[in-house]
Amino acid sequence: MALIVQKFGGTSVGDIERIRNVARRVVETKTAGNRVVVCVSAMSGETNKLVELANQAGGDEPDPREYDTLVSTGEQKTIALLAMAIQQLGHGARSFTGAQMGMLTDTDHTRARILSIDTSSLEAVLAKDEVCVIAGFQGVDDQGNITTLGRGGSDTSAVAVACALGADVCEIYTDVDGVYTTDPRLVPGARKLPRISFEEMLELASLGAKVLQIRSVKFAMRYGLPLHVRSSFGSDVGTWVVPEEDVMERLVVSGVTYNVDEAKIRLKGVADQPGIAARLFTPLGEAGIVVDMILQNFASDGTTDMTFTVPKGDYRKALEIAKKVGSEMAAEQVEGDENIAKVSVVGLGMKDHAGVATKMFNVLAEEGINIQMITTSEIKISVVIAEKYAELAIRGLHAAFVEDGASEPTTE
């Protein structure tokens, strides 16, 4: 008898009819001979509404403990409704809040980390052949304070519980039917990937393919737990996210992604001497700003240029810090640009396939797109370009790497 954890996102439980639909699916899975734990998000739009209320009552930075107490209620509503709907179909079901399911976290409100999960109460209910309906996104600290795991955190709840229970699979039901080679809204030729490795999924998730919260993929990778991303509105097989050794086709490029949520800052003409990078990036780090790409030019005349990217939400603050540090270091100029896009190609097959970068640069050159920054990792190449060319770049790269069959599996 398999143990299956199913996670349903906000749109999948958006109204009562959809909740009934989820209940039917859960019951189907159970009557097929499986034990089922189902993890749900708040009904779509609910968390945003709660955040708005928090801001109305508590200002721009509401007290984090009270914020968590409030925003976690969205999931509490859904678990009770779904448990009732499953009971209506004649099956036993029981809801669990974070505290009730033993989801112990630290006290870092609004972005708490999971410390441990005591699965005994879940297991007792499963042993009675009933369905466990658990609240995503929330946990409890050792003092009994309600915590939340950050926006999109239900994915992480589901995967963490699946790992703790030693489940056979965690199915992520969502409003898309799998992981695509690129954004299908931009590129009609985008296709669904049958299988993808955790590593590739991590790169895709962090590059802006918003299918799964990154932390959930990290969890699954650490425990080797297969994920199945699929649509809650049909019964098609979606995309399996699995260990690298279980990926049969090592595509040279499995995904082309873009991210327009970053901004670029450049310090021109800073002294080329030890300690400069430390002086710049220390205050940024202290301000909680996560720097993504960093580029330092080859020095000439004893000075160099330093360029880096930060999330758009931190741009103003980062620019202010860079200007302050820049003037202390007698930089010639400090300038910023919010209108950039980071475009990346990702694929396991790059590990044993040369020439991907060259081809990428050629495609961009043919489209007349200027590259401002480049970074690479073992399975990814990213470039920063002007935001207005993002779509053009994605279409060109997808055509060259995916549609033209250039991404044929490497044999190895």
Task: Give the separation between CA 406 and CA 401, rounded to whole angstroms.
Answer: 5
In the window 1-40, what residues touch ligand ASP (CB under 6 A)? 9-10
User: Where does this chain touch ligand ASP (CB under 6 A) — which range of 145-153, 167-175, 260-268, 338-346?
Assistant: 145-153
Q: Is 98 a residue that touches ligand ASP (CB under 6 A)?
A: no
Measured from the CB atom, the residue of 152 and 226 that comes closer to Mg ion is 152
Measured from the CB atom, the residue of 152 and 238 that comes closer to ligand ASP is 152
In the window 342-381, what residues touch ligand ASP (CB under 6 A)? none
Instruction: Transcribe 300-352 into DSSP letters.
Output: BTTEEEEEEEEEGGGHHHHHHHHHHHHHHTT-SEEEEE--EEEEEEE-GGGGG
Measured from the CB atom, the residue of 51 and 357 that comes closer to ligand ASP is 51
Query: Could you say which of ligand ASP, Mg ion, none residue 239 binds, taking C-beta under 5 to 8 angstroms by partner kind?
Result: none
DSSP 3-state of 43: coil
C-beta nearest to Mg ion: residue: 152
DSSP 3-state of 201: helix
Q: Is 152 a residue that touches ligand ASP (CB under 6 A)?
A: yes
| Number of amino acids touching ligand ASP (CB under 6 A) | 13
In the window 47-76, what residues touch ligand ASP (CB under 6 A)? 47, 74
In the window 3-22, what residues touch Mg ion (CB under 5 A)? 9
Residues 343 and 258 sit within 8 Å (Cβ to Cβ): yes
Pick the closest to residue 68 from 32, 102, 105 (CA basis): 105
Residues 344 and 207 sit within 8 Å (Cβ to Cβ): yes
Q: Is 136 a residue that touches Mg ion (CB under 5 A)?
A: no
Q: Is 136 a residue that touches ligand ASP (CB under 6 A)?
A: yes
Q: Is 153 a residue that touches Mg ion (CB under 5 A)?
A: no
Q: Which of 74, 102, 139, 152 binds Mg ion (CB under 5 A)?
A: 152
Q: Which of 154, 174, 344, 407 binds ligand ASP (CB under 6 A)?
A: 154
Residues 152 and 213 sit within 8 Å (Cβ to Cβ): yes
Q: Is 326 a residue that touches ligand ASP (CB under 6 A)?
A: no
Token pair listed for 32: 């097929």
Structural element, H or E, at residue 174: strand 169-174
Query: Could you say which of Mg ion, ligand ASP, none residue 151 binds, taking C-beta under 5 to 8 angstroms by partner kind?
Result: ligand ASP
146: number of Cβ within 10 Å: 24
Measured from the CB atom, the residue of 8 and 389 that comes closer to ligand ASP is 8
Least distance in angstroms from the C-beta of 71 to ligand ASP: 7
377 secondary structure, DSSP code: E
Task: Give the separation between CA 156 and CA 213, rounded to whole angstroms.
Answer: 7
CA dist 196 to 245, 251, 347, 401, Å? 11, 9, 9, 16
Query: Could you say which of Mg ion, ligand ASP, none residue 349 binds, taking C-beta under 5 to 8 angstroms by partner kind?
Result: none
Q: Is 41 a residue that touches ligand ASP (CB under 6 A)?
A: yes
Residues 294 and 275 sit within 8 Å (Cβ to Cβ): no
Which residues of this protein are in contact with Mg ion, per CB under 5 A? Answer: 9, 152
Interacting residues with ligand ASP (CB under 6 A): 9-10, 41-42, 47, 74, 136-137, 151-155
